[in-house]
Amino acid sequence: MRAAIRQYRRELALFLLDRIVDPISSGDLVEQMGAFAQAEGHPEVCWRSINGPDVHGILRALEGEGMVVRDGSDRDRRAGRDTPLWRIANHVRGAALTVTVPDVDDEAEEEIPITASLAAVAGVETPYDTMTRPQLYALLETADEMAGAQARILREIQEVAERARRRLASVGLLDGQG
């Protein structure tokens, strides 16, 4: 079933990229894929756990096949780095792309529990044991954003302190002279 879901998401990404005029980031494509699948009434198991890393992997694989190309980059202010923008390759644009919805039960997609092995061995339950994969990804992405923001703030404070030290030294205040 997982292979069918992967194929579905690959087809959905291509289908939407063919209809989107401007280049798009993988994060924005995640939102488009989820919204389209929901609007079309596709089974929840198909779109519920679509996430950025998976879509980025799909786009990289499609790039390797020559189906999509990188078309510039966009500054991700939250992450503090550039993210690639993607578009469908010219020779693929306008092709009769379809999305085959996999034949799935209405049962939820099997979730592989991600647990801390030490806690599991010790019999200690952590708050992460009951989280789904999308919840854990969201938590990790938030932690990454916070770490990036803290690093930027620390660099800025260090730069201000260095400028202040140089300014005070230039007028003799750091040597005890006034």
**CATH, residue 37:** 1.10.10.10
Count of domains observed in the chain? 2
- For residue 68, is it within any domain? yes
* pLDDT tens digits, 87-134: 999 888 887 778 888 887 644 444 444 334 444 444 556 676 788 888
Final residue of a structural domain among 51, 74, 104: 104
Residues 98 and 165 in one domain: no
16 vs 1, which has greater pLDDT? 16
Distances (CA, A) of 161 to 1, 147, 155, 171: 57, 21, 10, 16
Comparing CA positions, the residue from 4, 17, 10, 96 lying closest to residue 43 is 4
Classify strands 24-25 and 81-88 as parallel, antiparallel or unpaired. Answer: antiparallel
Residues 123-149 have pLDDT tens digits of: 556 676 788 888 888 888 888 888 888
In a domain? residue 177: no
Query: Is the domain of 63 the same as that of 132?
Result: no
